[in-house]
C-alpha cells in the first residue's frame, strides 16, 4: 500500500519559489508512485484546516515546507500522534533543520536547490526519526527556541517591518542595540529553588542554536526530556564575538559573567516589567511571567 504524504507549503516563507517544490513532487510521484495532497497556508484558519485534512486523509507523513513557525504549527497538531513530520526547510529561519542537520533548500541555481530538495526527500523516505520534546510556555508551545527580552524585541520589529531573511534581522539587531538594550530583573523558581538577578534576555532553549547558526545553549538536546533556561546577563562585544565565532567553531566559550544556563523540566519565571516574548520565531505578545513545562517526546521528526 502506497505511503500517504500531506505536504504543508508556506508560499511566503524564505526566498524559495515554491513552484519548484510542486514540480519536484509531480516528478517524484510519477517515478515512485506514492499518494499525496498539498495544503498551502494562507494565514486564515490554517491549523483547523490542516487538522481536518490529517483526520480525513490520514497521512503517514506530514512534510512541512517553511521555517520554524510553520514547523511548530504542524507539530502542535501532531502532538502525541503516530504521524511523522518531515521537513523541506525553506524559511527565513530554519533553526530546527540546522539543529538536526537537515539540508536547507537553498542555492543560486535551480539545480542546486533541486539537489538539496532531493537530499531532504531521501531522508523523508527513509523515515528515521527522533522523538522531539515540546515545551509549553504559558498558553504557547515551542520545539526550538523561545525568549523574552532583547531578541524578542528584534523579532517583533522584524515582523512589524515585514522583513524576510538575515538582512532584515540584522537591521533590527542594530536598531535595538542602539536604543533598547535595557536590563530587567528576573526571578526563577525551579524544583523549589529560587534564582534571581538582572538580564537583557532569557531564552527557553530546546536546541543549541538559532537559525543564524549562533549557539546559545551549548549542551542542549531537543530529545533529552529537559529544557535550558539561558540567561544573557548583558550584551557586550566579547559575548557577541563568541556568538559569531560559534557559527563556525561550535565552541562558543561563554563566560559565566555573560551567560548561564539551568536545565529543568518545569519552571516559573517572573520579570520586573512586561517583556516581549517570541516563540520559535513568532511574536507571542508581552508578559511578566512564564510557566514552563517539558512535554517529553511529543512529536516524531524525521532527520
Whole-angstrom distance, CA of residue 234 vs CA of residue 258 = 6
Instruction: With beta carbons less than 8 A apart as the criterion, state whether 263 and 276 touch.
Output: no
> Is residue 46 located within the same domain as residue 149?
no
> Is residue 36 located within the same domain as residue 173?
no
The reply to whether 8 falls in a domain is yes
Whole-angstrom distance, CA of residue 217 vs CA of residue 208 = 5
Query: How many CB atoms are closer than 10 A to CB 35?
Result: 14
**Cα 40–chain centre separation:** 20
What is the model's pLDDT at position 190? 95
The helix (run of H) or strand (run of E) holding residue 170 is helix 165-179
> Is residue 173 located within the same domain as residue 278?
yes
The reply to whether 202 falls in a domain is yes
pTM: 0.86
What is the model's pLDDT at position 218? 85
What CATH number does residue 263 fall under? 2.60.200.40
Residue 281 backbone phi and psi in degrees, to 5 = 85, 0
What is the model's pLDDT at position 18? 85
Q: What is the pLDDT along the chain (303 residues), one digit of tens a residue?
A: 678 999 999 998 876 778 899 999 999 999 999 999 999 999 899 999 999 999 999 999 999 999 888 999 999 999 999 999 999 999 877 889 989 999 998 878 889 999 999 999 999 999 999 999 999 999 999 999 999 998 888 777 666 666 555 555 555 555 555 555 678 999 999 988 999 999 999 999 999 988 777 888 988 999 999 999 999 988 765 566 556 555 555 666 666 677 889 999 999 999 999 999 999 888 899 999 999 999 999 999 999
The reply to whether 132 falls in a domain is no
Give the domain-ending residue among 80, 95, 127: 127
User: How many domains is the chain partitioned into structurally?
Assistant: 2
> Is residue 81 located within the same domain as residue 160?
no
In the structure grid, which three cell numbers stand for residue 182, read together? 535595557
> Which residue from 207, 187, 194 is spatially nearest to 142, judged by alpha carbons?
207
Give the domain-ending residue among 127, 156, 184: 127
The CA-CA-CA angle for residues 125, 130, 133, to 5°, reads 140
> Is residue 251 located within the same domain as residue 282?
yes
> Is residue 88 located within the same domain as residue 144?
no
Q: Quick one: DSSP state of residue 81?
A: -
The reply to whether 205 falls in a domain is yes
Whole-angstrom distance, CA of residue 183 vs CA of residue 203 = 14
- Residue 14's domain comprises 4-127
Give the domain-ending residue among 109, 127, 145: 127
Q: In Å, what is the CA distance from 6 to each residue of 73, 87, 102?
A: 14, 12, 19
How many CA atoms within 13 Å lie on the side-chain side of 69? Answer: 19
What is the model's pLDDT at position 14? 73
Instruction: With beta carbons less than 8 A apart as the criterion, state whether 184 and 199 touch.
Output: yes
What CATH number does residue 81 fall under? 3.40.50.10330
**Continuous H helices in 6-149:** 19-32, 46-57, 68-77, 95-99, 110-126
Cα end-to-end span (Å), the chain? 24
What is the model's pLDDT at position 16? 74
How many CA atoms within 13 Å lie on the side-chain side of 18? Answer: 20
The reply to whether 301 falls in a domain is no
Q: In Å, what is the CA distance from 275 to each residue of 135, 156, 185?
A: 19, 11, 11
Amino acid at each position: 500500500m502506497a505511503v500517504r504524504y500531506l505536504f504543508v507549503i508556506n508560499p511566503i516563507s524564505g526566498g524559495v519559489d515554491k513552484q519548484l517544490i510542486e514540480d519536484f513532487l509531480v516528478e517524484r510521484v510519477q517515478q515512485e508512485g506514492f499518494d499525496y495532497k498539498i495544503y498551502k497556508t494562507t494565514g486564515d484558519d490554517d491549523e483547523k484546516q490542516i487538522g481536518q485534512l490529517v483526520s480525513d486523509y490520514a497521512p503517514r507523513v506530514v512534510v512541512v515546507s517553511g521555517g520554524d513557525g510553520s514547523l511548530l504549527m504542524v507539530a502542535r497538531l501532531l502532538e502525541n500522534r503516530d504521524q511523522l513530520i518531515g521537513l523541506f526547510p525553506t524559511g527565513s529561519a530554519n533553526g530546527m533543520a540546522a539543529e538536526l542537520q537537515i539540508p536547507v533548500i537553498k542555492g543560486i541555481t535551480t539545480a542546486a536547490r533541486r539537489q538539496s530538495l532531493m537530499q531532504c526527500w531521501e531522508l523523508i523516505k527513509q523515515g528515521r526519526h527522533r522523538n522531539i520534546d515540546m515545551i509549553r510556555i504559558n498558553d504557547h508551545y515551542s520545539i526550538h527556541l523561545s525568549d523574552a527580552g532583547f531578541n524578542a524585541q528584534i523579532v517583533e520589529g522584524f515582523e512589524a517591518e515585514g522583513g524576510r531573511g538575515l538582512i532584515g534581522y540584522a537591521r533590527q539587531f542594530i536598531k535595538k542595540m542602539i536604543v533598547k538594550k535595557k536590563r530587567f530583573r528576573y526571578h526563577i523558581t525551579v524544583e523549589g529553588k529560587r534564582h534571581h538577578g538582572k538580564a537583557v534576555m532569557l531564552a527557553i532553549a530546546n536546541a543549541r542554536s538559532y537559525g543564524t547558526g549562533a549557539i546559545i545553549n551549548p549542551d542542549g538536546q531537543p530529545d533529552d526530556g529537559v529544557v535550558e533556561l539561558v540567561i544573557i546577563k548583558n550584551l557586550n562585544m566579547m559575548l557577541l564575538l563568541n556568538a559569531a565565532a560559534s557559527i563556525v567553531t561550535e565552541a562558543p566559550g561563554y563566560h559565566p559573567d555573560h551567560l548561564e544556563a539551568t536545565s529543568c523540566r518545569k519552571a516559573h519565571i517572573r520579570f520586573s516589567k512586561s517583556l516581549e516574548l517570541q516563540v520559535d520565531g513568532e511574536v507571542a505578545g508581552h508578559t511578566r511571567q512564564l510557566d514552563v513545562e517539558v512535554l517529553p517526546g511529543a512529536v516524531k521528526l524525521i532527520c
